[in-house]
Structure 1
């Protein structure tokens, strides 16, 4: 039991942060308007890369790439950027606001929020809703940290209920479990057996969250997506196809809601 608790409480190991340079560049449009693109110079990047998600467009530049070459790259892909931004636009995504946010998503439901002042900030389940206590001088960033801590605590509680059932059938347990805000993936298993799960999974219905956990645990048995791997998944989660379809239909909005709530 002690090792299980240590596994559930473990997070990212200490690491030296890598410096990133960020700014925003405007791409002119045919109608006279401009489309903002986040430009990131990443020393780890080996090539220019353009991505679009619910947060907008992002251009990643390697350390030695010139700004002029980045501008040419954006102009060459302008039509694609506009199309993708339109496809990824999701309405009704709002950040967390003290005393104004009335519901918060959790486990496939929107739960009512009760705001109250207190000596420190904390969010916790209370009856059929969420009680959000806030200190008088806490700022927006502090509120977002409180919400993130609440979601991670709830996610770890779910994994703590499910994991003991599956550990006996695995060749080894995951080295540690960490929760991250992931752009496209829902989970991953690193070569050192560290298991990463998307924090927004706790906003999804529990059966879908459970499927992702099972999926990643099965990579401890088979590292690939071979037929043998899917047989392991099917044996533990017979309805995995339905959960995969759920993410196909609702995944973008689930991820966008978490990003919206935690955005600054």
Structure 2
């Protein structure tokens, strides 16, 4: 019996995820490792591509045959995602003098560079203006750009959050932004919301959906039908937005990494 068969045949103890990397042939003949994860918390089969590679999440109730069939059906999508990631990897990291444009809220904004005594980045008349002293390094510019995007993301959440507070059992303890490897958001046991900073690059509706998703976990700390009813009540188009992340989310994460670093 292979390691993969043992993984599928003998589920791990509750709350423990078992993992094995499986060499998988793509439609074009290339081979890639897919990390199979037998997760007792999973409710459905799920294939993801992140900066760490491809991952197939398998719930306890799914058989090896069902998981393999699911993977086979999604191999063309996996190949396309990996090809797009490879094409993005050749782009240089953002630095001083980069011609732009810069993404923000689903649009590409013209980028202007100006010499100044202090390093500052602001949105002005639809453009993003970077004022930088001659001594500012690429790393300093990327840190300033990260701070700029965090400020923009906080502004968006600050505008949306009041509308959702009346229907929540309690307020989130905090909302913080940082690059996440595969998730778009999470809610900690202490009610702290974490959101991927890359959300501010994409369409505002997609960003708002992720916020709604995490806020609804304050009502139901799971992905039950009751949870999704709460999401749909606040965001009727959530299915289309979730599909958008499946198609374009990886590119968003990669671009944020290029712009501000890991």
Question: Shared topology, TM-score over 0.5?
Answer: yes
Question: Counterpart in 1 of 2:194?
Answer: 196
Paired position in structure 2 for 1:225? 223
Q: Does 1:145 align with 2:143?
A: yes
**Over 6 Å off, 4+ runs:** none
Aligned partner of 1:172 among 166, 170, 173: 170
The residue aligned with 2:180 is 182
CA distance 1:244–1:56, shift in 2 (3 Å):
closer
> Considering only aligned residues, what root-mean-square deviation do their CA atoms show, in Å?
2.4
Mapped partners of 1:152, 1:202: distance in 2? 8
Deviation per CA, 1:173-225, whole angstroms, max 9, x where unpaired?
00011101000000000000000000000001000000000000000000000
- Give the 3-state SS of the residue equivalent to 1:196 in structure 2: strand
Kept after mapping to 2: 8 A contact 1:107/1:205: yes
Any gaps of 5 or more consecutive residues in structure 2?
Answer: 1-47, 55-80
Q: What does residue 208 of structure 2 align with? A: 210
Q: Which runs of 5+ in 1 are unaligned?
A: 1-50, 58-83
User: How far 1:96 sits from its partner (Å)?
Assistant: 1.3
Distance 1:200 1:117, change over 3 A: same
Q: Distance in 2 between matches of 1:219 and 1:139?
A: 41
Asked whether the equivalents of residues 54 and 89 of structure 1 are also in contact (C-alpha less than 8 Å), the reply is no
Distance 1:115 1:164, change over 3 A: same
Are 2:86 and 1:89 aligned? yes
User: What secondary structure sits across from 2:153 in the alignment?
Assistant: helix
The residue aligned with 1:48 is none
* 1:1-264 superposed matches below 5 A: 53-54=50-51, 88-91=85-88, 93-263=91-261
Shift of 1:52: 7.7
- For the residues of structure 2 that align with 1:55 and 1:114, how far apart are their CA atoms? 34
Q: Quote the residue 1:39 is aligned against.
A: none
Q: Distance between the aligned counterparts of 1:141 and 1:247, measured in 2?
A: 29
Shift of 1:97: 2.1
Higher relative contact order (CA 8 A, sep 6+): 1
Aligned counterparts of 1:136 and 1:121: Cα–Cα separation in 2: 10
TM-score (norm 1): 0.67
SS class of match (1:220):
coil
Count of matched residue pairs: 190
* Structure 2 partner of 1:36: none
CA distance in 2, matches of 1:127, 1:134: 19
Quickly say closer, same or farther: Cα 1:100–1:146, change in 2 above 3 A: same
SS for the counterpart of 1:90 is: helix
